[in-house]
Chains A and B, each alone.
Chain A
């Protein structure tokens, strides 16, 4: 259960980071707490939108999904089931790939690193690792 709990807490942290960045994009919170101007350089770049959707909003939705899945996986009826964690690992895996793409853009296209994005990157990686460890723990069964 510790892995699912960790995934839940990490998803909550990721959700707040994404919400913070999205509120910034909406102009609701003034400037970003970043230390250098690089967070703003990344967040105000045209590449901070994917297919017309703010990356921060994608983060909010993604982490909300991960949080819901983590909490669902903690319910007594689902504690011994693999499918919630399989789903969690799948969603987190997509998140890891998306984060890798965004990190590439930061390093080689925008040439600026946003610390909040780095924090989010570590969080999604940790959620993915927690889900994989939980999957290893659970026996395979026909009930999912």
Chain B
């Protein structure tokens, strides 16, 4: 009986240690200070809702992508599928691509990354910074502070870092990002990446072949 009581005592001691440790870890994770400095709740201006466009203004098909720079699916799509889509469809005038930000709450650096790209856009380097951010996702998403890494990409893209720093510190394009997100929510976007082909939600596969078929189909039947 004494051995059983001793065993129970050891069990409850171990149980208490694991419980306290687990609660401490979860408590720390929930209460640690947020690293994002780009505000989410900002006033949105009417001029804030265009997105970033690539391709001919006369292309018969427009695809709008709602994406999150820290989302792994978006990263795979941007780095593996987009080069082919760009070469096959955008550069040939068959498709216009509109990229819009939809930073998910789960991703602490997504809004910061979107803002970094917006600040690069101010200097005509949006797509360069956009590519670098996606290609480097594994580096900055796993870091404790993504800001210096994103700044490094901006420097490599040829962005004037003095202007970039001022833009980032001011949170100049926070409204633009929020406008994109609000717009996505209104359109029914709930995950990333989400595509809208000529304004309609796309439910198919996220690969260049499927997108090519979609564009061909829409070009043949514009009202489909």
Q: Which residues of A contact B109 (CB under 8 A)?
A: 31
State whether B106 touches A25 (Cβ < 8 A).
Answer: yes
Known: A8-B15, A40-B71. A16 touches B22 (CB 8 A): yes
Interface of B, helix, strand, loop or mixed by DSSP: helix
In whole angstroms, how far apart are the Cα atoms of A30 and B106 in the complex? 5
The reply on B170 being an interface residue by CB < 8 A is no
A9 at the interface (CB under 8 A from B): yes
Nearest residue, chain B, Cβ from A46: B191
Chain A residues within 8 Å of B73, by CB: 41, 44
Q: Which residue of A lies closest to B73 (CB)?
A: A41
Interface presence of A105 (CB below 8 A): no
> Does the CB pair B71–A23 fall under 8 Å?
no
Contact call A13/B106, Cβ cutoff below 8 A: no
Q: How far is the CA of A25 from the CA of B179 in the complex (A)?
A: 23
A23-B30, A28-B30, A31-B70 known; A40+B18 contact, CB < 8 A? no
- The tally of residues in B whose CB lies under 8 Å from a CB in A reads 31
Contact stretch, chosen from B3-11, B88-96, B117-125, B156-164: B3-11
Residue contact B191 to A44, C-beta cutoff 8 Å: yes
Query: A8–B8 Cα gap in the complex (Å)?
Result: 12
Tell me whether B30 and A74 are in contact (CB under 8 A).
no
Q: B150-179 CB contact bits vs A (8 Å, 1 = yes)?
A: 000000000000000000000000000000
* Bound-complex Cα distance A29 to B11 (A): 30
Q: Determine the chain A residues whose CB is within 8 A of the CB of B75 once the complex forms.
A: 37
Contact, CB under 8 Å: A27 / B106: yes
- The yes or no answer to B200 lying at the interface (CB within 8 A) is no
- B106 & A12 in contact (Cβ 8 Å cutoff): no
> Closest approach, in angstroms, between the C-beta of A95 and any C-beta of chain B?
19
Q: Which of A20-71 contact B (CB under 8 A)?
A: 20, 23-25, 27-31, 37-38, 40-41, 43-44, 46
Q: Does A138 contact B (CB under 8 A)?
A: no
Is A1 interfacial (CB-CB < 8 Å)? yes
Q: Which of B26-40 contact A (CB under 8 A)?
A: 26, 29-30, 34-35
User: Is A12 in contact with B8, judged by CB distance below 8 angstroms?
Assistant: no
A24's nearest neighbour on chain B, judged by CB, is B106
Complex: chain A residue closest to B11, CB-CB: A5
Chain B CB within 10 Å, residue with most, of A12, A19, A44, A46: A44
B11 x A8 contact (CB < 8 A): yes
| CB of B19 closer than 8 Å to a CB of A | yes
B7 pairs with A1, CB closer than 8 A: yes
Inter-subunit contact B72/A38 (CB<8 Å): yes
Chain A residues lying within 8 Å of B35, measured Cβ to Cβ, are 30
How far is A24 from B106 in the complex, measured between Cα atoms in Å?
A: 6
B141 contacts chain A at the CB level, 8 A cutoff: yes
Q: How far is the CA of A37 from the CA of B108 in the complex (A)?
A: 14
Q: Which residue of B lies closest to A44 (CB)?
A: B191
5 nearest A-B pairs in the assembled complex, by CB-CB distance = A37-B72, A27-B105, A30-B108, A16-B22, A29-B29
22 contacts between A and B (CB under 8 A): A8-B11, A12-B15, A12-B22, A16-B22, A23-B30, A25-B106, A30-B29, A30-B34, A30-B107, A31-B108, A31-B109, A31-B141, A38-B72, A40-B71, A40-B72, A40-B106, A43-B106, A44-B104, A44-B191, A44-B192, A46-B191, A74-B8
By a beta-carbon cutoff of 8 Å, the part of chain A in contact with chain B is: 1-2, 5, 8-9, 12-13, 15-16, 19-20, 23-25, 27-31, 37-38, 40-41, 43-44, 46, 74
